[in-house]
Amino acid sequence: MNKVSQTGILLAALLLLPFAPLLQAQELLPGLRVWGNFQMDAQYYQDDADIATDTVPEKILMNGFANINLAYENLTIGFRYESYQNPLLGFDSRYKGSGIPYRFASYTQDNLEVTLGNFYEQYGNGLVMRSYVEPNLGIDNAMDGIKLLYRPAKGVTLRTLIGEQRLFFDKGPGIVRGADAEIYLNEAFEALSGSQNQLTLGVSGVSKYQRDRDPTYHLPENVAAFAGRMNFARQGFNLNAEYARKANDPSADNNFIYRHGEALTVSSSYSFSGFGLLLSAKRIDNMGFRSNRAATGNDLHINYLPAMTRQHLYSLTGMYPYATQPTGEVGALAELTFRLPRQTLLGGPMGTTVIVNFSIANAIDKQPLSNETIFRQTGREPQENDPRINVPGTDGYTSGFFSIGDEKYFQDFNIEISRRFSRNFRGSFTYMNLFYNQNQIEGYDNKEDVKAHIVVTDMTYRLPNRRSVRWELQHLSTRQDNGDWAMAMVEYSIAPHWFFSASNQYNYGNDDKDQRLHYYTFHAGYNKNANRFSLGWGRQRQGIVCVGGVCRVVPASTGFTLSVTSSF
């Protein structure tokens, strides 16, 4: 167990020990609140030569964690215990072991909130600062230090932080400092309090420090990023925009170029009864920002760059998820939602909801540097076939803010129609047209762009005695990658406690006949109040799990799974 875990356990014990008697005698301390949650996922792995599963010498792998929090008057303390014995396949092996990597104490006094220890934070949309936890991805870049939040006046919020980031059961080498100021004008200025126009302005500054030990580069030890944002709302209309700029930050993310980074996100929505329109656009240019310039993968991100694509929940529509490209991308999303009224020809007896969604992501245009610039910045004369873009130790490239590159990364057009046919019967139909640049998104070198048509039907029928049955039929049609897929799932529920499901994905269109395999799974689960148990068996195909543009590879596996969640 490393020093962080040992310190965490000791601190948690010291903080909680005085309250130990009180946990069982809350009536002695009225107002004491205790709450928490628990999650455990375990899998027994079986060898399956058909899908070339990894050999798991332990046979059983497990990820688990529990959060426990106490609050009394203006004081809150808590911790999270995590255990990976060993981590499930697809999770970073550096999660191995157990410990208390998250512990904190915070209090509030006269509009000042002080947090000591671990904390999460986000400034605006996260373009310069977002630390968060996503257990399904194995992401946790929690800060360990001090966070202050102060409200000096109505509508004004000031936040600052300083600390190091979590890296598995240890900490990254960099120190992160940040501050954010936000003013909600309608609260801050009495003259605007009754206005229908609601306006919020914010500005953030974040910097990191990491010692320069590199012998070949003059590396900046302090790198700062600034952002300004606004949010305007009036009745059903909302407009949100944020611009961020980062100073020179040569790192493994950008091949050690000294170009500044910048990002712009704009999102607007308009809705009224039965109608909603969402329009978003973004530009990202060299905005990877980590507290260790050598970090890769999902390690030590300081900021968060949104994906701006629809997150699909069905297995085939979610087979090719988009991952944000921090080195540069331009994206847009448009979503139209409308409700066809009930008792009409198109709306049917109980109404129909239609969602039309379109998103696209493209490269930004990058122009090469001149030989003179490269020589001036590196001291080396470039050779004939040497690249003139992203040369280490240079500014990298030039790029006009409104210039879009030629390479398309991702495009998704989908339409979803949901309808309640009767009191007991409802369903939805989804069509998706997909373009997916597999080389760019997944880091391959020889894959074709995937062009696919996907259809999904999802039906639920309510039976007597609180039973219901749900079934899905899905189909993916493509000539690239692994070819066509068909999927069927049926789920039987006995409310409020039981559910049973069986599903099968069949890769019948694979060019390799030996890979035309079935991926079948069977699940049973039991819910009682806040406890949920789920037991499954089956075969899982290799895939990618993404949340908000951040992804994790899931290797193929066969075996039993057990999931337990609980909260109190």
Partner 1 sequence: MKLLKTLFYIFLILAVPVVFSACDDMDEPYLVQTAPPVDPDPDDPDNGNDTIVRKYLLEKFTGHRCVGCPAGDETAKILKDFYDDRLVVVSIHAGFFSMPLGEPYTMDFRTPEGNELNSHFGISSNPNGLISRREYEGSLILPPASWGSAIVDMEDIPAEFSLSLEVEEKSPGSYSLTAFINALKPMTENFRLVVLLTESGIVSPQSISGNPNYPEGVIMDYTHNNVLRKGITNIWGAELNKGALAPSILLEKDYDFSLEPDWVAENCHIVAFIMREEGNENGYPLEIMQVESIPLAE
Q: Residue 465, SS3? A: coil
d(CA 225, CA 248): 9
Q: Taking the complex as a whole, how short is the minimal distance between the CB of residue 177 and partner 1, in angstroms?
A: 5
SS3 string of 256-282?
CCCCCEEEEEEEEEEEECCEEEEEEEE
Please identify, using beta-carbon distances, which residue of 353 and 480 lies nearer to partner 1.
480
The kind and range of the H/E element at 74 are none
Please identify, using beta-carbon distances, which residue of 181 and 524 lies nearer to partner 1.
181
d(CA 164, CA 179): 15
Q: Taking the complex as a whole, how short is the minimal distance between the CB of residue 222 and partner 1, in angstroms?
A: 4
Please identify, using beta-carbon distances, which residue of 138 and 538 lies nearer to partner 1.
138
N-to-C CA span, the chain? 28
Q: What angle do CA 154, 157, 161 make, to 5 degrees?
A: 155
DSSP symbol at 87: P
Q: Taking the complex as a whole, how short is the minimal distance between the CB of residue 120 and partner 1, in angstroms?
A: 18
The residues facing 419 across adjacent strands are: 352, 427
Contacts of 482 (CB under 8 A, 6+ apart): 507, 509, 510, 515
- Tokens 């009409």 sit at which residue? 344
Please identify, using beta-carbon distances, which residue of 23 and 553 lies nearer to partner 1.
553
- Rounded to whole angstroms, what are the CA distances from 270 to 194, 267, 335, 408, 483? 21, 10, 11, 28, 39
Q: Are 143 and 161 in contact (CB under 8 A)?
A: yes
Q: Taking the complex as a whole, how short is the minimal distance between the CB of residue 242 and partner 1, in angstroms?
A: 14
- E strands present in 480-549: 485-494, 498-506, 518-528, 531-540, 543-547
Q: Taking the complex as a whole, how short is the minimal distance between the CB of residue 86 and partner 1, in angstroms?
A: 12
Q: Taking the complex as a whole, how short is the minimal distance between the CB of residue 439 and partner 1, in angstroms?
A: 7
Please identify, using beta-carbon distances, which residue of 104 and 168 lies nearer to partner 1.
168
Burial status of residue 273 (CB atoms within 10 A of its CB: 0-12, 13-18, 19 or more): exposed
Please identify, using beta-carbon distances, which residue of 110 and 445 lies nearer to partner 1.
445
Residue 327 in tokens: 């080195």
Please identify, using beta-carbon distances, which residue of 30 and 152 lies nearer to partner 1.
152
Q: Taking the complex as a whole, how short is the minimal distance between the CB of residue 391 and partner 1, in angstroms?
A: 9
d(CA 322, CA 436): 8
Please identify, using beta-carbon distances, which residue of 335 and 448 lies nearer to partner 1.
448
Between the CA atoms of 16, 20, 24 and 26, what dihedral angle is there, to the nearest 10 degrees?
A: -60
d(CA 31, CA 489): 47
Which residues are near partner 1 by CB under 8 A?
93, 152-153, 156, 158, 160, 162, 170, 173, 177-183, 188, 203-207, 209, 213-226, 247-248, 250-252, 255-256, 258, 292-296, 327, 368, 376-380, 385, 387, 389-390, 392-394, 439-440, 443-446
Q: Taking the complex as a whole, how short is the minimal distance between the CB of residue 203 and partner 1, in angstroms?
A: 5
Q: Taking the complex as a whole, how short is the minimal distance between the CB of residue 148 and partner 1, in angstroms?
A: 10
Cα Rg for the chain, rounded, in angstroms? 26
Please identify, using beta-carbon distances, which residue of 258 and 410 lies nearer to partner 1.
258
Please identify, using beta-carbon distances, which residue of 204 and 303 lies nearer to partner 1.
204
Q: Taking the complex as a whole, how short is the minimal distance between the CB of residue 541 and partner 1, in angstroms?
A: 18
Residue 101 in tokens: 């990597």
Please identify, using beta-carbon distances, which residue of 175 and 316 lies nearer to partner 1.
175
Residue 205 in tokens: 């500054």
Name residue 343's amino acid.
Q
Q: Residue 8, SS3? A: helix
d(CA 549, CA 15): 37
Q: Are 248 and 261 in contact (CB under 8 A)?
A: no
Please identify, using beta-carbon distances, which residue of 377 and 433 lies nearer to partner 1.
377
Q: Are 352 and 429 in contact (CB under 8 A)?
A: no
Name residue 245's amino acid.
R
Please identify, using beta-carbon distances, which residue of 16 and 148 lies nearer to partner 1.
148
Torsion-angle region of 94 (φ positive above 0: left; ψ -120 to 50: alpha; else: beta): alpha
Q: Taking the complex as a whole, how short is the minimal distance between the CB of residue 207 and partner 1, in angstroms?
A: 4
Of 305, 298, 347, which is closest to residue 135 (Cα–Cα)?
298
Please identify, using beta-carbon distances, which residue of 111 and 529 lies nearer to partner 1.
111
Q: Taking the complex as a whole, how short is the minimal distance between the CB of residue 459 and partner 1, in angstroms?
A: 41
Q: Taking the complex as a whole, how short is the minimal distance between the CB of residue 98 and partner 1, in angstroms?
A: 18
Q: Taking the complex as a whole, how short is the minimal distance between the CB of residue 372 and partner 1, in angstroms?
A: 12
